[in-house]
Amino acid sequence: MAFPCVDKIEQRTQKFLQQSIDGGPEPAYSNPVSGYKVYHHNKPFLMDHGGVLPSLDIAYETWGELNEDKSNVILLHTGLSASSHAKSHPDNPAPGWWEKFIGPGLAIDTNRFHVICTNVIGGCYGSTGPSSIDPKDGKPYATRFPIVTINDMVRAQFEMLNSMGIHKLYASVGASMGGMQSLAASALFPDRVGRVVSISAAARSHPYSIALRFTQRQALMADPNWNKGFYYDGVPPHSGMKIAREIATISYRSGPEWEQRFGRKRSQPMTTPSLCADFLIETYLDHQGERFCLQYDPNSLLYVSKAMDMFDLSASVREQISQRREANWKRVLAGQGTSAPANAATPPEEQDQDQQQQQVAACSTDDVKQQSKSSEAGSAGKETGGSQAAAASAKEQLEDLVKGVSGLRDIPTLVLGIQSDILFPVWQQKEVADCLRESGNKNVTYYELDSMYGHDAFLLEIINVGSAVKGHLELRG
Amino acid sequence: MAFPCVDKIEQRTQKFLQQSIDGGPEPAYSNPVSGYKVYHHNKPFLMDHGGVLPSLDIAYETWGELNEDKSNVILLHTGLSASSHAKSHPDNPAPGWWEKFIGPGLAIDTNRFHVICTNVIGGCYGSTGPSSIDPKDGKPYATRFPIVTINDMVRAQFEMLNSMGIHKLYASVGASMGGMQSLAASALFPDRVGRVVSISAAARSHPYSIALRFTQRQALMADPNWNKGFYYDGVPPHSGMKIAREIATISYRSGPEWEQRFGRKRSQPMTTPSLCADFLIETYLDHQGERFCLQYDPNSLLYVSKAMDMFDLSASVREQISQRREANWKRVLAGQGTSAPANAATPPEEQDQDQQQQQVAACSTDDVKQQSKSSEAGSAGKETGGSQAAAASAKEQLEDLVKGVSGLRDIPTLVLGIQSDILFPVWQQKEVADCLRESGNKNVTYYELDSMYGHDAFLLEIINVGSAVKGHLELRG
């Protein structure tokens, strides 16, 4: 039996090896993005989980005129692997990922609004991320890059807004991870956000979506070329990336569309079935993987997808992070010779404990296995320790979330979900809307759209998604 | 940052390398199954896609007494990776995968019925599969094993039944791939099946489930240790198998259960988040992968999951295969020196064309890419060439399927679906039931169960699934 799909992967590896021997150009992880501007933040930037970047860059693009009092700014947030290139412009005429949503008279009307879209930190399209150079040694950070959160991404954006003299956003808009950022922006800076659009996002990631991203990361990290993240002068983990993208694609699209588009058609109906791509749906996935495997930095995929997993607007989580930040700021500022913040709520023991635990984590796989085993051993009913306790705990967690989003109570918010989305299912959209309403927000608009495109509907449903966005931005207020 | 999950994989690889240097035992791919009997079929066995096994073994286990006229036989079919060990018995007291469904007074009452469960061909638990020895050269078949179909599995089972003098089954019962076999048995041998139970199965695989299995195969085949299937004297592709199982596990379980069981809990809440398994849902997936990665033969996973993808009871597909089989039998029998079958409906050109196309397939990735690209380029609406055409085509396909299952019209059939199943969604169950009814079957029972366990409900819902099975087996007729 022939395996052209395996040969192809091997050929690409050999090409990279040869390039590296020939001293040819290293693979370019940056997408062909160009024409963006860069904000350079020349101060230490503290991350939620204790990492500190000595400085950082944010790449961004803009559309529409900024008005005199800087009150017409829409901050548009990107999904996991999208760049700041949401729309074509003179410095980069290539179509952007929301090309038909942004423009004069469109969903985001550039006759009215000044739109800013940034690349997230942790990414690879011009903002500081794992492929950026660590000034300490002139080499890429790789997996020495600190763990990054959605809040970190948003805080970096607001440092940029500060530098631009923009105090308050007309609106914070985003879909998927962009919706998470949109919600995070209003939770972190409620006085600086005029209204919110959250499409196919969540107020906290649920285990099914974590599972989908986990398998992608595992597939990538299993590629020997990933090399624990230190591949920048060698062969990139293109094989792992390809599989990661194939898995991701399943979660981005829904069944009904594929049923109609591919059905059970084979790419070469007269041939004997093969174990490489064979059905049209397989060649489609293969193609998605091929397209993406050298387009996005693998380490960025790890960090940014992990940031999505960790996203949780619950009050208890926000409080915990806030305390940790205060303690860590103290350390940072001390190291920088500047004064400590007003109050440091976290006892020093927490930090020690944290370090201790970290050592445990590095050799904890067996413990974890034990733990997992014991929960496995039980029968279905026993697994959770009783559904009553689970229900009580679910109620508490919901209250925690309501408390966590209470800062948004005065911000008109559009929550839009897609009924065929399996990655950010509509019950999660309803959760966002319900929690906002429960916290006292009287201006929540909640729509469900019956698109067959699943999670990707926000890229494809120009009219159905666009109308909701336009209405929310232009009618309210 | 530490990556204990990556280290662990590497350590296992090293262990296998060391064993191979030390001349230690090769990894055992067979599950600790034992106590099964073996039927040896000492004649050439022709497969649907033209492969021929010179002989084959079928491993099987039985429970309950066979009555005198051999009329109380229930043939129980397995899912993808399950063995024939459905239930404990004196020769193997370990609990089986349907332990609580089979026994005196249980869903399948061993006081009434003689239950036979076989290992499928293509598998690795005693029946002939890729890890079996090819008598031609004394080495494992590996990927020289011919492509196997669900029909091939069933035909092999009926060869075994013939040898036992069992003409007619009281019932054919199965879930998941077992349900496919159950339907296939009644389609192939309508006079030899008394009733059918199909749980969480399908009359044809849909693209979403093909996609889920494709990514598993891709992850496995990307493991360098897979070595195009020739790993039996080297390091097994345990890393690829682990990832494949993690992806599979996502499709076997549903969101609601995980929400309740794991929520957003982390395994080591006080540690800094890591890129290895971190949330409980991740340690659970990791554990599932660890458990499975050396338990099942990787090549069997490829062949058997591919068989599921190809499953399609549509009349046109069955007719095509039937014609191919007749032509191929002619060749086989000629080669064996025996007489040709009565009529060979397929012109010899078909075979030539098939071979030609196969050569194309081996270097066709680029063509496929082109094809995929062009369908990609279009906007959402253009992709399918119009929804009207798609609807017409869908209608024709459904009629084709109705025709394909018309042989089952006199067989009482239970179709049971799980509402939270994403791998074999209820709309597919409904399709099976509707097509059977449309073809004239007046004895179709259709149930949907609101279990939160997704596809795996057939293993866990002892009462809710069990009652439906028992009722169908004992009330009707």
Cβ pair A263, B207 in contact under 8 A: yes
**Which residues of B fall within a CB distance of 8 Å from A274?**
361
Size of interface A-B (CB pairs under 8 A): 305
- Among A24-33, A81-90, B30-39, top mean pLDDT goes to A81-90
Q: What superfamily in CATH does domain A37-204+399-474 come from?
A: Alpha/Beta hydrolase fold, catalytic domain (3.40.50.1820)
pLDDT-derived band at B356 (thresholds 50, 70, 90) equals very low
What is the DSSP secondary-structure string of A324-363? HHHHHHHHHHHHHTSPPPS---S-HHHHHHHHHHHHHHTT
Cβ pair A467, A105 in contact under 8 A: no
pLDDT-derived band at B105 (thresholds 50, 70, 90) equals very high
**Which residues of A fall within a CB distance of 8 Å from B274?**
361
Q: Where in chain B is the domain with CATH 1.10.1740.110?
A: 4-30+209-308
User: How do residues B266-279 score in pLDDT, each as one tens digit?
Assistant: 999 888 999 999 99
pLDDT-derived band at A208 (thresholds 50, 70, 90) equals very high
Q: Where in chain A is the domain with CATH 1.10.1740.110?
A: 4-30+213-308
Nearest residue of B to residue A380, measured between CA atoms: B460
CB burial of residue B2 (10 Å; 0-12, 13-18, 19+): middle
Judge whether residue B367 has pLDDT over 60.
no
Judge whether residue A369 has pLDDT over 80.
no
CA dihedral A433, A437, A440, A443 (to 10 degrees): 80
pLDDT-derived band at B336 (thresholds 50, 70, 90) equals low
Residues ≥6 apart with Cβ < 8 Å to A359: none
Q: Where in chain B is the domain with CATH 3.40.50.1820?
A: 37-204+399-474
Cβ pair B265, B96 in contact under 8 A: no
CA dihedral A14, A18, A20, A22 (to 10 degrees): -170
Tell me what pLDDT residue A24 has.
53
Mark yes or no for CB contact B212/A250 under 8 Å: yes
Cβ pair B203, B399 in contact under 8 A: no
Alpha carbon of B302: minimum distance to chain A alpha carbons (Å)? 7
CATH topology of domain B4-30+209-308: Rna Polymerase Sigma Factor; Chain: A (1.10.1740)
- At A453, the amino acid letter reads Y
Q: Give the closest of B260, B282, B358 to A210, CB-based.
A: B282
Judge whether residue A371 has pLDDT over 80.
no
Q: Which residue has the tokens 């929310």?
A: A472
pLDDT-derived band at A179 (thresholds 50, 70, 90) equals very high
Separation between Cα atoms, residue B47 and residue B155, nearest integer Å: 9
Judge whether residue B402 has pLDDT over 60.
yes
Tell me what pLDDT residue B343 has.
30
**Active site includes B455?**
yes
Tell me what pLDDT residue B18 has.
82
Separation between Cα atoms, residue B83 and residue B124, nearest integer Å: 8
Q: Angle at Cα A229 formed by Cα A223 and Cα A231, nearest 5°?
A: 80
Whose CA is closest to B159, among B274, B91, B60?
B60
Judge whether residue A27 has pLDDT over 90.
no
**Which residues of B fall within a CB distance of 8 Å from A242?**
218, 222
For B40, which DSSP code?
A: E
Judge whether residue A341 has pLDDT over 70.
no
Judge whether residue A234 has pLDDT over 60.
yes
**Which residues of A fall within a CB distance of 8 Å from B247?**
215, 247
Judge whether residue B327 has pLDDT over 60.
yes
Tell me which of A432 and B388 has the higher pLDDT. Answer: A432
Residues ≥6 apart with Cβ < 8 Å to B38: B57, B58, B59, B60, B126
**Active site includes B83?**
no
Judge whether residue A80 has pLDDT over 90.
yes
Cβ pair B241, B296 in contact under 8 A: yes
Whose CA is closest to A453, among A262, A200, A253, A250?
A253
Residue B178 structure tokens = 């077992």
Separation between Cα atoms, residue B250 and residue B421, nearest integer Å: 11
Residues ≥6 apart with Cβ < 8 Å to A22: none
Judge whether residue B179 has pLDDT over 60.
yes
Testing the interface with A: which of B151, B216, B242, B264 to mutate, by most A Cβ within 10 A? B264
User: How do residues A399-451 score in pLDDT, each as one tens digit?
Assistant: 999 999 999 999 999 999 999 999 999 999 999 999 999 999 999 999 999 99
Nearest residue of B to residue A314, measured between CA atoms: B264
| A4-30+213-308 CATH, one of 3.40.605.10, 1.10.287.70, 3.30.200.20, 1.10.1740.110 | 1.10.1740.110
pLDDT-derived band at A293 (thresholds 50, 70, 90) equals confident
DSSP, collapsed to helix, strand or coil, labels residue A446 as: strand
Q: Angle at Cα B284 formed by Cα B463 and Cα B224, nearest 5°?
A: 120
Residues ≥6 apart with Cβ < 8 Å to B192: B158, B161, B167, B168, B169, B185
**Active site includes B421?**
yes
- At A54, the amino acid letter reads P
Quick one: CA dihedral B162, B167, B173, B177, positive or negative? positive
Cβ pair A224, A298 in contact under 8 A: no
Mark yes or no for CB contact B361/A246 under 8 Å: no
Testing the interface with B: which of A17, A368, A400 to mutate, by most B Cβ within 10 A? A368
- At B191, the amino acid letter reads D
pLDDT-derived band at B357 (thresholds 50, 70, 90) equals very low
Separation between Cα atoms, residue A51 and residue A134, nearest integer Å: 13
Tell me what pLDDT residue B315 has.
97
Tell me which of B255 and A382 has the higher pLDDT. Answer: B255
Tell me what pLDDT residue B291 has.
87
**Which residues of A fall within a CB distance of 8 Å from B254?**
208
Mark yes or no for CB contact B1/A144 under 8 Å: yes
Q: In what order do the strands lie in the sheet with A37-41?
A: A37-41, A56-63, A114-118, A73-77, A171-175, A196-199, A413-418, A444-449
pLDDT-derived band at A333 (thresholds 50, 70, 90) equals confident
pLDDT-derived band at A245 (thresholds 50, 70, 90) equals very high
Residues ≥6 apart with Cβ < 8 Å to A352: none
Q: Which residue has the tokens 């293969």?
A: A286
Separation between Cα atoms, residue B137 and residue B140, nearest integer Å: 9
Cβ pair B431, B203 in contact under 8 A: yes
CA A387 to chain centre: 32
Tell me the pLDDT of chain A averaged across its residues.
Answer: 87
Q: Which residues pair with A103 in a beta bridge?
A: A109
Judge whether residue A359 has pLDDT over 60.
no
Write down the ipTM of this complex.
0.86
Please state which of the ranges A258-272, B234-248, B387-401 shows the lowest mean pLDDT: B387-401
CA B265 to chain centre: 34
Tell me what pLDDT residue B128 has.
97
Tell me what pLDDT residue B335 has.
76
Whose CA is closest to B101, among B153, B174, B4?
B174
pLDDT-derived band at B386 (thresholds 50, 70, 90) equals low
Catalytic choice (B172, B176, B198, B451):
B176
Judge whether residue B384 has pLDDT over 90.
no
